[in-house]
Amino acid sequence: MNINENFRYLHMGLPEDILRRKLGGDFEGAVRLIDRRLQSPETPEALRRCLTAEREMILRLPGDYPFTREQALARAREKIPDFTEEEFDERVDSGKIGWIYQKGEMRFFDRFFETLCKTEPGFAERAGVVMRGVESAGKESYETGELKRCIRKMKGEGGAGRRICVQASLRIKDELFVPGMKIRAHLPVPAECPEQTEITFEELTPGGRIAPGDALQRTVFWEEEMQENHAFTVRYSYVRRAAYQDTEQMKGEGPQPDFYTQEEAPHILFTPYIRELAARLTERETDPLEKARRFYDFITLHMTYTYMPSYFSLENIAENCARSFTGDCGVFALLFLTLCRCAGIPARWQSGLTAEPDFCGAHDWVQFYVAPYGWLYADTSYGIAAVRAGDEERRKFYFGNIDPFRMTANQAFQAPFTVEKQHWRADPYDNQVGEMETEERGLRYEEFERSKQVLACQEL
């Protein structure tokens, strides 16, 4: 069994003594107790697999939360000298600044400052920071102007398209490189799907092997014994088209199919809370389209965007989002997907890149199926961004639609690569920016450099 399959057993749960040590930040003690269980022949196989994944999660968790309170305040005051402790505490209490215990002391999330800049225009203005991309931009910007024009065209003409060219690369950091080491590298590339055609690979570092077009997580793969350090690079172009669906004039009719309605452990689970939430949100509603709309409204109108720690360290993603009312694009997408499936509405994952004219970023969204219309889109994160910008028209657009500024590489959550990684993935569920490993171990994100750039975005 591939080592990353151990994550499918996370929902088995930790024994109480290990859980208490983990939550209290006694990570050494938690790992020590896990090792005792793993060495015992009496440990059931399902628990053994859960413990194997949890052990690696615990080892990585401190890296996402490096700041003491004093260090976090100093980080904010580098840009905002008059940032007060009261302001800091209010954002901690509201869930905008994440934290965990380490040895009984609160330690704060390494990207808390970026979260505040992204989600609070006033904070970003005080800090003198300009966030790029539609999802981060304010009410009036080049990005939102381009998007509004695109949405108007889609509504007026029934759709829009772009011919897009992207270049992406990976490179192990010089301080880790040893001449003669064997490196295996994966970069996500466009998957073949109805909305994404004319895929052309224009440049490729020699030796690259491109996965089949229908791969659930499509990559180009290299394996090389490297004498000198270098980047692995791919440049590709494709045509992306988006058709407009006026969901406010649509009504679900006829029998609904039952594909893509199953649970998928450990994150897409119909827990008692998820079942109760789905039932309450859809009370007295029979139209599957309106049920899905209620899920979308629940997320976009009531939840707050925050950057997240590595997905490697997250547990029960959908349910925890439904409890905390915070998340990022992937977390919100998983909650929407899980609620839809729980209500019998087929839903499936898509992810890859946003490929805007002057911005390229990792992103996740969802497709859901309503008869007789077929697959529709929902981008809950862009919906939340529209709420921040005070743009209700844009929020409604992203229920049923997405823009053409996309690259879909992944069409399933937690799917293996065509050439599987031999060691731990940096992200065991998704693949937006790539993976690297040596013969000995998988590399973490902080151990290799990644770049991605939109070289062309031509309107069709």
383 in a structural domain? yes
Residues 49 and 183 in one domain: no
- DSSP, collapsed to helix, strand or coil, labels residue 262 as coil
Same domain as 363, residue 260: yes
pLDDT interval class at 138 (50, 70, 90): low
pLDDT value of position 448? 98
208 and 333 together in one domain: no
The whole-angstrom separation of Cα 454 and Cα 23 is 41
Q: Which amino acid is at 398?
A: Y
Q: What is the pLDDT of residue 204?
A: 98
Q: What does the alpha-carbon distance between residue 392 and residue 397 come to, in Å, rounded to a whole number?
A: 9
Query: Is the C-alpha dihedral spanning 424, 427, 430, 434 positive or negative?
Result: negative
Question: What total of structural domains would you count in the chain?
Answer: 4
The tokens describing 207, both together, are: 């030796």
Over residues 438-449, the mean pLDDT reads 97
| Domain shared by 265 and 382, yes or no | yes
Q: Six-digit token pair at 391? A: 């743009």
Distance CA 195, CA 154 (A): 14
pLDDT (0 to 100) of residue 143: 65
Q: Which ranges of 377-435 does DSSP label H, i.e. alpha helix? A: 380-388, 392-397
Note the pLDDT of residue 146.
86
Whether residues 49 and 75 fall in one domain: no
Last residue of a domain, one of 36, 64, 92: 64
Interval 344-359 mean pLDDT: 96
Q: 361-380 pLDDT, tens per residue?
A: 999 999 999 999 999 999 99
Any bridge partners for residue 171, and if so which?
Answer: 449
Q: How many Å apart are CA 376 and CA 397, to the nearest integer?
A: 12
Length of the chain: 460
- Position 132 scores a pLDDT of 73
Q: Which residues of 267-294 are buried (b: 16+ CB within 10 A; e: fewer)?
A: bbbbbeebeebbeeebeeeeebbebbbb
For residue 460, what are its two tokens? 């069709």
* Whether the predicted pLDDT of 135 surpasses 70: no
Mean predicted confidence (pLDDT) in 342-351: 99
Range of the domain at 441: 160-242+426-459
Tokens for 316, please give them: 């029960």
Residue 137 clears pLDDT 60, i.e. is over it: no
Of 64, 99, 114, the last residue of a domain is 64
Across the range 335-353, mean pLDDT stands at: 99
145 versus 143: the higher-pLDDT residue is 145
Average pLDDT over residues 313-342: 98
Tell me the average pLDDT of the chain.
96
Residues 298 and 344 in one domain: yes
Beta bridge partners of 347: 368
Q: Is residue 416 part of a domain?
A: no
Is 166 part of any domain?
yes
Give domain status of residue 23, yes or no: yes
Residues with Cβ within 8 Å of residue 408, at least 6 apart in sequence: 190, 191, 193, 195, 196, 350, 351, 352
Q: Are 190 and 219 in contact (CB under 8 A)?
A: no
Q: CB neighbours of 208 closer than 8 A, spacing ≥ 6?
A: 220, 221, 222, 232, 234
Residue 315 domain-assigned? yes
**Phi/psi-derived region of residue 80, left when phi > 0, alpha when psi is between -120 and 50, beta in every other case:** beta
Which one-letter amino acid corresponds to residue 256? Q
Same domain for 313 and 383, yes or no, is: yes
Instruction: State the pLDDT at residue 131.
Output: 76
Same domain, 446 and 364: no
What are the tens digits of pLDDT across the range 304-314?
999 999 999 99
pLDDT at 61 over 70: yes
Residue 414 in domain: no
- Model-level pTM? 0.96
Q: How many CB atoms lie within 10 A of CB 324?
A: 14
* CB neighbourhood size of 34 (10 A): 24
Q: Are residues 217 and 354 in the same domain?
A: no
> Is 369 found in the same domain as 404?
yes
Q: Which residues pair with 204 in a beta bridge?
A: 234
46-60 per-residue burial string, b: 16 or more CB within 10 A, e: under 16? ebbbbbbbbbbbbeb
Are 341 and 251 within one domain? Answer: yes
The percent helix, strand, coil of the chain (3-state, each to 5) is 40, 25, 35
How far is the C-alpha of 43 from the C-alpha of 48, rounded, in Å? Answer: 6
β-strand pairing of 209-210 with 304-305: unpaired
Strand partners, 201: 236
Q: In degrees rounded to 5, what are phi and psi of residue 91? A: -75, -30
CATH classification at residue 212: 2.60.40.2250
* φ/ψ of residue 421, rounded to 5: -70, 145
Res. 139: pLDDT tops 60: no
Tell me the pLDDT tens digit for each residue of 150-206.
999 999 999 999 999 999 999 999 999 999 999 999 999 999 999 999 999 999 999
End-to-end CA distance of the chain: give it in Å, rounded: 46
pLDDT tops 80 at residue 142? no
Which tens digits make up the pLDDT trace of 200-225?
999 999 999 999 999 999 999 999 99
What pLDDT was estimated at residue 353? 98
Q: Does some domain include residue 141?
A: no
Specify whether 318 is located in the same domain as 192. Answer: no
The answer to the question of residue 155 being in a domain is no
